[in-house]
Amino acid sequence: MSKNQLEHIALITGASSGIGLALTRKMLSENWQVIALIRSDFPADDKFLQAHLKDGQLRAYKVKDLTDYGSLRHALEEIKSKEQRIDILFNNAGGGLSELRSSKQGRELHYELLTVVPYIILMELKDLLENGNLKTVINTSSQVFRFTKEFTIENLEHPKTFRKMYGPYATSKLALSLWTQAIAPQLAKKGIKIRSVDPGINNTLRKGKDSGLTAGFELFMKLFSSPPTHGANLLFEAALGKHRNETGVFLLKNRVTNLKFTEHAQRVLDKITDIYSHEFLGGSILVDG
């Protein structure tokens, strides 16, 4: 395929399943090039995706574990060595757990995956975004944090209690939206716009995979929620629709919505900046032995 410079390029994390997969298909259908950062291969029997992998409109980069800094660093270095620009970065990869677990770095796993890793990906790919035309970042968040009653940095990293959905998952998504708000002025100096977005309730359940949902909500999702194309459309609209010139905002049902605990936004940003600088960059000389 001729990579026409007029074509737009999107990088999508978590592109091989759920909302990310639906978004990948939508972007390809809209004649975008898609860079996919994925843990699992695309379905081998999907002729549409396999054809675009073959012609180069879809380019996949594998990462064993997004929360393993060695694995993440290797994948991001490969992207930086092979790609020239990114117009839109969709920080979409995520997931929920049914128990308290820690990352290799010793932090609660939801926080590592949903709050810290999207920042690392943004920082590592910022130069490619600056080379792009649209210079836009969309962070997939969640309205579930509206039920959060307490918020502290300490509880993000090392929760004392655990609740499905409404515990570490919710606070980590809130922290993602808070740093999105806090970093916006800094990115604006480089011409980059950033927004966090609730993609709605989508049936992203996968057989044999821990959903991290309460039993009642999982049943509700099976019976009443929208297909992943709904969330993909909301992310697409958040990137290219009526709010495309706004930055730092949280979008719920495609409307700018106020966040809770905004007094903590700068501290969240400072904390994850410190993690990035001292742990991800500081450990770069130790890449995989």
pLDDT (0 to 100) of residue 38: 97
What integer pLDDT is reported at residue 225 of this predicted model? 61
pLDDT of residue 226: 64
* Other CB atoms within 10 Å distance of the CB of residue 61: 19
Where are the chain's structural domains?
Answer: 9-286
Under 8 Å between Cβ of 256 and 243: yes
Q: Are 122 and 137 spatial neighbours (Cβ–Cβ below 8 Å)?
A: yes
Q: What pLDDT score was predicted for residue 285?
A: 41
Q: What is the pLDDT of residue 228?
A: 86
Q: Domain 9-286 carries which CATH code?
A: 3.40.50.720
* Averages of pLDDT over each 10 residues, the chain, 289 residues: 64 95 97 97 95 97 96 98 98 87 94 98 98 98 89 92 85 97 98 96 57 59 69 96 98 96 98 97 53
pTM here is 0.89
Provide φ and ψ at 51, rounded to 5°: -65, -40
Which helix (H) or strand (E) is 195 found in, with range?
Answer: strand 193-198
Residue 136, token pair as written in the block: 């836009």
| Cα–Cα distance measured from residue 206 to residue 18, given in angstroms and rounded to the nearest whole number | 9
Query: 62: which 2 tokens?
Result: 């594998």
What local confidence, expressed as pLDDT, does residue 204 receive?
54
pLDDT of residue 206: 52
- In contact, 24 and 3? CB cutoff 8 Å: no
Between the alpha carbon of residue 212 and those of residues 132, 170, 207, 263, 284, the distances in Å are 36, 11, 13, 29, 32
Distances from the Cα of 234 to the Cα of 22, 52, 122, 138, 144, angstroms: 11, 23, 21, 11, 16
What's residue 213's pLDDT?
55
Q: Retrieve residue 216's tokens.
A: 């009642």
Helix (H) or strand (E) run with residue 217 in it: helix 215-224
Structure tokens at 115: 């709050």
pLDDT, residue 158, reads: 94
Tell me how far apart the alpha carbons of residues 38 and 120 are, in angstroms, rounded to a whole number.
16
**In sequence order, which residues have a C-beta less than 8 Å from that of residue 171 and are 6 or more positions away?**
110, 111, 145, 148, 151, 155, 156, 159
